[in-house]
Amino acid sequence: MRVDVVCVGSPFLDLIFHELSHLPAPGEEVLAKRLTLTPGGISNIAYACHQLGLSAAICAPLGADPLGQLLEQLVAESGVTWVGETTTATPVSVAIPSQRDRAFITVNPFMPVDTQTLSTIEARAIVANLPNVAELPEHPGIYAIVGDPEAVELAGTMTSSLEHLAAFFLNEREACALMQSEDPVFAARQLAALGTTVVMTCGHKGAMAIDANGDEVEVTARAIEVPDPTGAGDAFTAAYIWADLQGFSLERRMECAVLYASLSIEAASERQKGLGLDAFLEALES
Protein backbone atom coordinates (compact mmCIF):
# COMPACT_ATOMS: atom_id res chain seq x y z
CA MET A 1 0.00 0.00 0.00
CA ARG A 2 1.21 3.50 -0.86
CA VAL A 3 -0.14 6.55 0.97
CA ASP A 4 0.96 10.08 1.73
CA VAL A 5 0.49 9.75 5.49
CA VAL A 6 0.20 6.72 7.75
CA CYS A 7 -0.97 7.30 11.32
CA VAL A 8 0.46 4.63 13.59
CA GLY A 9 -1.54 4.14 16.77
CA SER A 10 -4.98 3.18 17.93
CA PRO A 11 -7.95 5.44 17.22
CA PHE A 12 -10.37 6.13 20.04
CA LEU A 13 -14.12 5.98 20.07
CA ASP A 14 -14.92 9.48 21.35
CA LEU A 15 -18.13 10.12 23.27
CA ILE A 16 -18.54 13.90 23.30
CA PHE A 17 -21.07 15.37 25.75
CA HIS A 18 -22.19 18.77 24.43
CA GLU A 19 -23.52 21.87 26.17
CA LEU A 20 -23.01 21.02 29.82
CA SER A 21 -23.89 23.87 32.15
CA HIS A 22 -20.92 22.91 34.34
CA LEU A 23 -18.78 19.93 35.25
CA PRO A 24 -20.48 17.71 37.83
CA ALA A 25 -19.27 17.55 41.41
CA PRO A 26 -18.98 14.14 43.12
CA GLY A 27 -22.46 12.65 43.47
CA GLU A 28 -24.05 15.23 41.16
CA GLU A 29 -25.85 14.52 37.87
CA VAL A 30 -25.61 17.11 35.09
CA LEU A 31 -27.55 16.93 31.84
CA ALA A 32 -25.90 17.36 28.45
CA LYS A 33 -27.93 18.66 25.52
CA ARG A 34 -26.65 15.99 23.10
CA LEU A 35 -24.08 13.25 22.58
CA THR A 36 -21.78 12.67 19.61
CA LEU A 37 -20.02 9.37 18.88
CA THR A 38 -17.06 9.86 16.57
CA PRO A 39 -13.58 8.53 15.85
CA GLY A 40 -10.99 10.33 17.94
CA GLY A 41 -7.29 10.49 18.72
CA ILE A 42 -4.91 9.79 15.88
CA SER A 43 -7.82 9.06 13.51
CA ASN A 44 -8.60 12.80 13.60
CA ILE A 45 -5.19 13.49 12.06
CA ALA A 46 -5.79 10.88 9.35
CA TYR A 47 -9.23 12.33 8.61
CA ALA A 48 -7.97 15.93 8.34
CA CYS A 49 -5.12 14.78 6.07
CA HIS A 50 -7.74 13.06 3.90
CA GLN A 51 -9.77 16.27 3.80
CA LEU A 52 -6.66 18.14 2.66
CA GLY A 53 -6.28 15.87 -0.33
CA LEU A 54 -3.64 13.53 1.09
CA SER A 55 -4.10 9.78 0.99
CA ALA A 56 -4.13 8.67 4.61
CA ALA A 57 -4.24 5.37 6.44
CA ILE A 58 -4.33 4.21 10.04
CA CYS A 59 -2.08 1.33 11.05
CA ALA A 60 -3.30 -0.14 14.34
CA PRO A 61 -5.03 -3.21 15.77
CA LEU A 62 -8.80 -3.31 15.21
CA GLY A 63 -10.94 -4.13 18.24
CA ALA A 64 -13.20 -7.16 17.82
CA ASP A 65 -15.55 -6.00 20.62
CA PRO A 66 -18.83 -4.17 19.80
CA LEU A 67 -17.24 -0.76 20.39
CA GLY A 68 -14.42 -1.67 18.03
CA GLN A 69 -16.87 -2.72 15.34
CA LEU A 70 -18.70 0.59 15.67
CA LEU A 71 -15.42 2.53 15.53
CA GLU A 72 -14.29 0.60 12.44
CA GLN A 73 -17.55 1.51 10.72
CA LEU A 74 -17.22 5.20 11.64
CA VAL A 75 -13.63 5.35 10.39
CA ALA A 76 -14.63 3.71 7.10
CA GLU A 77 -17.42 6.28 6.67
CA SER A 78 -14.85 9.06 7.12
CA GLY A 79 -12.95 7.90 4.02
CA VAL A 80 -9.81 6.73 5.84
CA THR A 81 -8.30 3.27 5.38
CA TRP A 82 -7.64 1.32 8.60
CA VAL A 83 -5.38 -1.73 8.47
CA GLY A 84 -4.07 -3.94 11.24
CA GLU A 85 -4.44 -7.15 13.16
CA THR A 86 -7.39 -7.95 15.40
CA THR A 87 -7.34 -7.28 19.14
CA THR A 88 -9.85 -7.72 21.95
CA ALA A 89 -10.37 -4.20 23.31
CA THR A 90 -11.01 -0.70 21.95
CA PRO A 91 -9.70 2.59 23.39
CA VAL A 92 -12.54 4.91 24.45
CA SER A 93 -12.57 8.56 25.51
CA VAL A 94 -15.31 10.65 27.07
CA ALA A 95 -14.76 14.25 25.94
CA ILE A 96 -16.26 17.13 27.90
CA PRO A 97 -16.01 20.55 26.18
CA SER A 98 -15.86 23.29 28.79
CA GLN A 99 -14.58 26.88 29.07
CA ARG A 100 -13.06 27.08 25.56
CA ASP A 101 -11.17 23.82 26.17
CA ARG A 102 -12.02 20.17 26.67
CA ALA A 103 -11.37 17.48 29.27
CA PHE A 104 -11.06 13.74 28.66
CA ILE A 105 -11.63 10.54 30.60
CA THR A 106 -9.95 7.70 28.73
CA VAL A 107 -9.60 3.95 28.73
CA ASN A 108 -6.57 3.07 26.63
CA PRO A 109 -5.53 -0.60 26.53
CA PHE A 110 -1.83 -0.87 25.71
CA MET A 111 -1.28 -1.85 22.09
CA PRO A 112 2.22 -2.15 20.60
CA VAL A 113 2.98 -0.95 17.09
CA ASP A 114 1.74 -3.39 14.46
CA THR A 115 5.16 -3.59 12.81
CA GLN A 116 4.20 -6.41 10.46
CA THR A 117 1.35 -4.44 8.90
CA LEU A 118 3.39 -1.24 8.91
CA SER A 119 6.12 -2.95 6.85
CA THR A 120 3.60 -3.33 4.01
CA ILE A 121 2.89 0.42 3.82
CA GLU A 122 4.98 2.93 1.89
CA ALA A 123 4.34 6.47 3.10
CA ARG A 124 5.78 9.95 2.70
CA ALA A 125 5.06 10.73 6.35
CA ILE A 126 4.53 8.68 9.51
CA VAL A 127 2.67 10.04 12.56
CA ALA A 128 3.05 8.23 15.87
CA ASN A 129 2.90 8.77 19.61
CA LEU A 130 6.32 9.62 21.00
CA PRO A 131 6.66 6.42 23.11
CA ASN A 132 6.07 4.33 19.96
CA VAL A 133 8.59 6.10 17.75
CA ALA A 134 11.36 3.72 18.82
CA GLU A 135 9.42 0.84 17.25
CA LEU A 136 9.22 2.54 13.83
CA PRO A 137 11.57 1.86 10.93
CA GLU A 138 14.03 4.57 9.96
CA HIS A 139 12.21 7.21 7.93
CA PRO A 140 12.91 10.87 7.08
CA GLY A 141 9.33 11.96 7.70
CA ILE A 142 8.43 10.88 11.24
CA TYR A 143 6.15 13.27 13.12
CA ALA A 144 5.67 12.60 16.84
CA ILE A 145 2.69 13.52 18.99
CA VAL A 146 2.12 13.09 22.72
CA GLY A 147 -0.80 13.15 25.16
CA ASP A 148 -1.10 13.97 28.84
CA PRO A 149 -0.64 10.37 30.09
CA GLU A 150 2.50 9.87 27.95
CA ALA A 151 3.89 13.26 28.98
CA VAL A 152 3.52 12.35 32.65
CA GLU A 153 5.06 8.92 32.07
CA LEU A 154 8.07 10.40 30.23
CA ALA A 155 8.53 13.35 32.61
CA GLY A 156 12.17 14.00 33.36
CA THR A 157 13.45 11.41 30.86
CA MET A 158 13.74 13.61 27.76
CA THR A 159 17.51 13.62 27.29
CA SER A 160 18.03 11.56 24.12
CA SER A 161 18.39 13.13 20.67
CA LEU A 162 15.24 13.85 18.70
CA GLU A 163 17.08 14.39 15.42
CA HIS A 164 15.19 11.49 13.84
CA LEU A 165 11.92 13.47 14.04
CA ALA A 166 10.72 15.84 11.33
CA ALA A 167 8.66 17.60 14.03
CA PHE A 168 7.27 17.04 17.51
CA PHE A 169 3.76 18.32 18.35
CA LEU A 170 2.45 19.05 21.83
CA ASN A 171 0.57 21.66 23.82
CA GLU A 172 1.76 23.92 26.62
CA ARG A 173 0.63 21.62 29.40
CA GLU A 174 2.33 18.60 27.83
CA ALA A 175 5.57 20.54 27.32
CA CYS A 176 5.64 21.56 30.98
CA ALA A 177 4.94 18.00 32.12
CA LEU A 178 7.62 16.47 29.89
CA MET A 179 10.32 18.89 30.96
CA GLN A 180 9.09 19.37 34.55
CA SER A 181 8.92 23.12 34.08
CA GLU A 182 6.33 25.79 34.84
CA ASP A 183 7.35 27.74 31.71
CA PRO A 184 6.07 26.14 28.48
CA VAL A 185 8.29 28.25 26.22
CA PHE A 186 11.38 27.28 28.19
CA ALA A 187 10.30 23.65 28.03
CA ALA A 188 9.76 23.84 24.26
CA ARG A 189 13.21 25.38 23.81
CA GLN A 190 14.75 22.55 25.79
CA LEU A 191 13.03 19.98 23.59
CA ALA A 192 14.07 21.74 20.38
CA ALA A 193 17.66 21.70 21.60
CA LEU A 194 17.46 17.89 21.37
CA GLY A 195 17.53 18.26 17.60
CA THR A 196 14.05 18.67 16.13
CA THR A 197 11.39 21.26 15.36
CA VAL A 198 9.05 21.54 18.32
CA VAL A 199 5.55 22.75 17.48
CA MET A 200 3.55 23.86 20.52
CA THR A 201 -0.11 24.78 20.39
CA CYS A 202 -1.23 27.47 22.83
CA GLY A 203 -5.02 27.12 22.83
CA HIS A 204 -6.98 30.15 21.64
CA LYS A 205 -3.76 32.20 21.62
CA GLY A 206 -2.28 30.39 18.61
CA ALA A 207 0.93 28.38 18.37
CA MET A 208 4.70 28.63 18.26
CA ALA A 209 7.49 26.58 16.71
CA ILE A 210 11.17 26.34 17.59
CA ASP A 211 13.55 24.57 15.23
CA ALA A 212 16.77 22.78 16.12
CA ASN A 213 18.77 25.95 15.41
CA GLY A 214 16.73 27.90 17.95
CA ASP A 215 14.79 29.96 15.41
CA GLU A 216 11.29 30.72 16.68
CA VAL A 217 7.99 31.41 14.91
CA GLU A 218 4.83 32.55 16.67
CA VAL A 219 1.42 32.72 15.02
CA THR A 220 -1.65 34.26 16.62
CA ALA A 221 -5.01 32.55 16.15
CA ARG A 222 -8.11 34.37 14.96
CA ALA A 223 -10.55 35.24 17.72
CA ILE A 224 -13.44 32.79 17.42
CA GLU A 225 -16.08 31.41 19.75
CA VAL A 226 -16.68 27.67 19.47
CA PRO A 227 -18.61 25.38 21.79
CA ASP A 228 -16.42 22.34 21.14
CA PRO A 229 -12.67 22.57 20.41
CA THR A 230 -12.21 18.77 20.54
CA GLY A 231 -9.86 17.75 17.73
CA ALA A 232 -8.46 21.23 17.04
CA GLY A 233 -4.91 20.11 17.82
CA ASP A 234 -5.28 17.13 15.49
CA ALA A 235 -6.48 19.38 12.65
CA PHE A 236 -3.51 21.66 13.36
CA THR A 237 -1.08 18.72 13.14
CA ALA A 238 -2.57 17.50 9.85
CA ALA A 239 -2.34 20.92 8.25
CA TYR A 240 1.26 21.37 9.36
CA ILE A 241 2.18 18.02 7.80
CA TRP A 242 0.28 18.94 4.63
CA ALA A 243 2.21 22.22 4.40
CA ASP A 244 5.52 20.48 5.12
CA LEU A 245 4.88 18.01 2.30
CA GLN A 246 4.28 21.01 0.03
CA GLY A 247 7.79 22.25 0.89
CA PHE A 248 6.60 25.38 2.70
CA SER A 249 8.81 27.35 5.08
CA LEU A 250 8.39 26.93 8.84
CA GLU A 251 6.57 30.25 9.10
CA ARG A 252 4.18 29.33 6.30
CA ARG A 253 3.62 25.86 7.81
CA MET A 254 2.60 27.46 11.08
CA GLU A 255 0.31 29.98 9.40
CA CYS A 256 -1.42 27.16 7.51
CA ALA A 257 -1.77 25.01 10.62
CA VAL A 258 -3.23 27.74 12.83
CA LEU A 259 -5.65 28.90 10.15
CA TYR A 260 -6.77 25.38 9.29
CA ALA A 261 -7.41 24.46 12.94
CA SER A 262 -9.42 27.64 13.49
CA LEU A 263 -11.50 27.19 10.35
CA SER A 264 -12.07 23.50 11.04
CA ILE A 265 -13.48 23.94 14.54
CA GLU A 266 -15.45 26.99 13.45
CA ALA A 267 -17.13 24.93 10.70
CA ALA A 268 -17.45 21.83 12.89
CA SER A 269 -19.99 19.16 12.03
CA GLU A 270 -21.42 16.37 14.14
CA ARG A 271 -18.41 14.22 13.30
CA GLN A 272 -14.69 14.83 12.93
CA LYS A 273 -13.22 18.26 12.27
CA GLY A 274 -11.39 19.01 9.06
CA LEU A 275 -12.09 21.58 6.36
CA GLY A 276 -12.04 20.41 2.74
CA LEU A 277 -9.04 21.34 0.59
CA ASP A 278 -10.88 23.69 -1.79
CA ALA A 279 -12.36 25.73 1.05
CA PHE A 280 -9.00 25.86 2.79
CA LEU A 281 -7.12 27.00 -0.32
CA GLU A 282 -9.74 29.70 -0.84
CA ALA A 283 -9.23 30.87 2.75
CA LEU A 284 -5.45 30.92 2.27
CA GLU A 285 -5.78 33.07 -0.83
CA SER A 286 -8.02 35.55 0.97
24-58 residue pLDDT tens: 889 999 899 889 899 999 999 999 999 999 999 99
CATH of domain 2-12+40-90+113-285: 3.40.1190.20
Domains of the chain, residue spans: 2-12+40-90+113-285
Higher pLDDT, 125 or 228: 125
Looking at the predicted structure, is the pLDDT value of residue 100 above 80? Answer: no
Q: Which pLDDT does position 268 carry in this prediction?
A: 63
| Percentage of the residues of the chain whose pLDDT score is greater than 90 | 78
Report residue 101's pLDDT band, with 50, 70 and 90 as the boundaries.
Answer: low
Which helix (H) or strand (E) is 66 found in, with range?
Answer: helix 66-77
Q: Which pLDDT does position 110 carry in this prediction?
A: 74
Looking at the predicted structure, is the pLDDT value of residue 270 above 90? Answer: no
Cα–Cα distances in angstroms (integers) from residue 244 to residues 121, 124, 142, 143, 234, in the given order: 20, 11, 12, 11, 15
Assess contact for 54 and 4: CB atoms under 8 A.
Answer: yes
Report residue 183's pLDDT band, with 50, 70 and 90 as the boundaries.
Answer: very high
Assess contact for 137 and 164: CB atoms under 8 A.
Answer: no
